[in-house]
Amino acid sequence: IDASPNCPWYKGWEKETKAKATGKTLLEAIDAIDPPSRPTDKPLRLPLQDVYKIGGIGTVPVGRVETGIIKAGMVVTFAPAGVTTEVKSVE
């Protein structure tokens, strides 16, 4: 995507954070966004997006890890129900 010659008044954008970045297009601005840091030193926090019940496999909770880490073999507790289970795999 190239900058349009139809907007000569637009000088572009500039990002002032850790690394200085400039550009003229929205795509360049989106590409310059730094991903958020995920604190791995804090307790596991994984908001559930959905729960699937798959025959032969079992119950599969789906979500994104916000803080902490999750590995196969860990024992986790789901709040507020207080259900405790072992993590079989992570995909």
Q: pLDDT tens digits, residue range 26-40? A: 898 898 888 888 899
What is the C-alpha separation between 29 and 16, in angstroms, rounded?
A: 12
Taking alpha carbons only, the member of 43, 87, 83 closest to residue 67 is 43
- pLDDT of 84 reads 93
Identify the pLDDT of residue 87: 92
pLDDT for 31-77, tens place per residue? Answer: 888 888 889 999 999 999 999 999 998 889 999 999 999 999 999 99
Total H helices, total E strands in the chain: 1, 6
Decide if pLDDT at 17 tops 90: no
Which residue from 88, 42, 34, 33 is spatially nearest to 65, judged by alpha carbons? 42
What digits encode the pLDDT tens for the residues 76-91?
998 888 999 999 999 8
pTM of the model: 0.58
